[in-house]
Homo-oligomer: A and B are copies of this chain.
């Protein structure tokens, strides 16, 4: 097969695998797609040599990224038969904040023989949560000093982000910290491997690195307040220019061209955070359109003309999603995680037998049973704070609640109430935007959960009273990266000069419209009122029981408990 016109490659570096798409630049048609699992997956108990990791650690081997990159692109080109001369650009999206320490030439410390057995030499995955004490220290100091930057992140930054992970490296492995000449987001590092240029994406820097296009990073004085030796940490560890997304990080190096089978010199786009790449892929380039990326957690993205400081925002970054706009990120800390908790630990033997004998998954079985329930029939109301609350309240010390239990309560009742609770949480996020004069006209959904659960989408539509535009495509993130690759190539090479133009030609939303039942919506309004009352009572300080319980539990060092 030999297709006319030009092509771009979009890549999605996920938690367990990398995906590559070959896309026709003119039409957005996906010509081929390949996936490759990482050889070492997520290392959360030990390194390949048996070195043991502490609780809450989660590492990756950056060598896996390069291997997956090579395998997916080579297979993509072979399977499609497209002439490499027609491929004009490549860009990638990646999990974030996944960060790794390198030497001055960008070699990961874990590639050095002397550090192969050292956990701190590897990439700390987004869900590495062992830097929580450092994050607390950073937040405490930022609030104490009344630092302006912390207000852009809803008053609190996360242990998943870049600086707590760098702090952990500094505190726990000072000799590795001393050898670290660059501390990179994995997406930026892979991009650097492709282009040979040290560039950082404004998207990851803004959402995960506390960076602001005008204010820059937090001040040397702030870093010095953390550790005296950190006054110049930015210059010492975070070198490389920060580039707007949509920009060109450089061109493909001859060495990388040889590894992938592509031509040297093609455009390499600036990396984006995986969730944020879904924005152009879903055709969103203007304010008023909320995008939910629904996975283990849900991330809510929205564009706006100006900067507004409102509660419950995980980040607001100029040019962070679409150039020219402020990109707002809100979120819910436990969504897919919550359902998996139920499926893994609270579904009975008889249901497993039913699912097995019918050859369906437990999710399908619970979804089917939950779909048979009427609004309110479960008698349950839940607060979806299993992982704390990241929406509006921004309080990690909150916990989950189920109310209304009786002896007839079954797993599907709880499943439905958990879905409803997360939908109420989304409604709160929508209301919060609206109260701050950021009205929402459409709601779109993508991600693993949106792909798979019809009952969930219907409940979200019924709760919010809005039509949901949901995609079941698994390519969304990689497709977004392909759009950015086309923009990086520019019209001169057969791409586009703006993301608006690229989206206009390349994106043909492949979404299903899930319409609300207004009768259900009215019933849900009453339940939402009850949710709000409990939300405020337990979340805003009238009753501190959740914090008391967490304090008692933490005094037992739950993390070290044998299961």
Distance in angstroms from A341 CB to nearest chain B CB is 5
Q: Residue A216 at the B interface, CB < 8 A?
A: no
**Residue in A337, A399, A555 whose Cβ sees the most chain B Cβ within 10 Å:** A399
Contact between chains at A376 and B407 (CB < 8 Å): no
Q: Residue A553 at the B interface, CB < 8 A?
A: yes
Contact between chains at B403 and A553 (CB < 8 Å): no
Using A399-B404, A400-B405 as known contacts, say yes or no to A379 and B549 having CB atoms under 8 A apart.
yes
Chain B residues, Cβ within 8 Å of A211: none
Contact between chains at B377 and A561 (CB < 8 Å): yes
Chain B residues, Cβ within 8 Å of A379: 399, 549-550, 552-553, 558
Within 8 A of B (CB), among A332-366: 334, 337-338, 341, 344-349, 352
Question: Please, what's the 1-or-0 string for A420-445, where 1 marks a CB less than 8 Å from any CB in chain B?
Answer: 00000000000000000000000000
Contact between chains at B345 and A410 (CB < 8 Å): yes
Tallying the copies of this chain within the complex gives 2
**Residue in A338, A537, A553 whose Cβ sees the most chain B Cβ within 10 Å:** A553
Chain B residues, Cβ within 8 Å of A558: 377, 379, 408
Contact between chains at B537 and A552 (CB < 8 Å): no
Chain B residues, Cβ within 8 Å of A409: 341, 345, 386, 400
Contact between chains at A405 and B377 (CB < 8 Å): no
Chain B residues, Cβ within 8 Å of A377: 552-553, 556, 558, 561
Q: Residue A380 at the B interface, CB < 8 A?
A: yes
Alpha-carbon separation in the docked complex, A556 to B377 (Å): 6
Question: Chain A interface secondary structure, helix, strand, loop or mixed?
Answer: mixed
Contact between chains at A548 and B561 (CB < 8 Å): no
Contact between chains at B546 and A526 (CB < 8 Å): no
Distance in angstroms from A461 CB to nearest chain B CB is 20
Question: A557: nearest residue on chain B (CB-CB)?
Answer: B377
**Contact among B349, B378, B386, B527 for A349, CB-based, below 8 A:** B349
**Contact among B352, B387, B405, B555 for A386, CB-based, below 8 A:** B405
Alpha-carbon separation in the docked complex, A410 to B405 (Å): 17
**Contact among B376, B407, B555 for A553, CB-based, below 8 A:** B376
Q: Residue A270 at the B interface, CB < 8 A?
A: no
Chain B residues, Cβ within 8 Å of A403: 399-401, 538, 545-546, 549
Distance in angstroms from A410 CB to nearest chain B CB is 6
- For chain A, the count of residues having a C-beta within 8 Å of the partner chain is 55
Chain B residues, Cβ within 8 Å of A407: 334, 337-338, 341, 386-387
Q: Residue A563 at the B interface, CB < 8 A?
A: yes
Q: Residue A534 at the B interface, CB < 8 A?
A: yes
Contact between chains at B543 and A537 (CB < 8 Å): yes
Chain B residues, Cβ within 8 Å of A545: 381, 403-404, 530, 533-534
Q: Residue A374 at the B interface, CB < 8 A?
A: yes
Contact between chains at B400 and A406 (CB < 8 Å): yes
Alpha-carbon separation in the docked complex, A349 to B353 (Å): 10
Contact between chains at A533 and B543 (CB < 8 Å): yes
Q: Residue A402 at the B interface, CB < 8 A?
A: yes
Q: Which 3 A-B pairs have the closest CB atoms?
A: A376-B552, A400-B405, A379-B553
Told that A341-B409, A381-B545 touch, could you supply 13 new A-B pairs with CB distance under 8 A?
A334-B407, A344-B348, A377-B556, A378-B553, A379-B399, A381-B549, A400-B405, A400-B409, A401-B405, A402-B402, A526-B548, A526-B552, A534-B545
Write 27 A-B pairs (CB below 8 A) sorted by A numbering: A334-B407, A337-B407, A341-B409, A344-B348, A345-B409, A347-B348, A347-B349, A349-B349, A374-B556, A376-B552, A376-B556, A377-B553, A379-B549, A387-B406, A387-B407, A399-B403, A399-B406, A400-B405, A400-B406, A402-B405, A403-B545, A404-B545, A410-B563, A526-B548, A533-B543, A537-B537, A537-B543
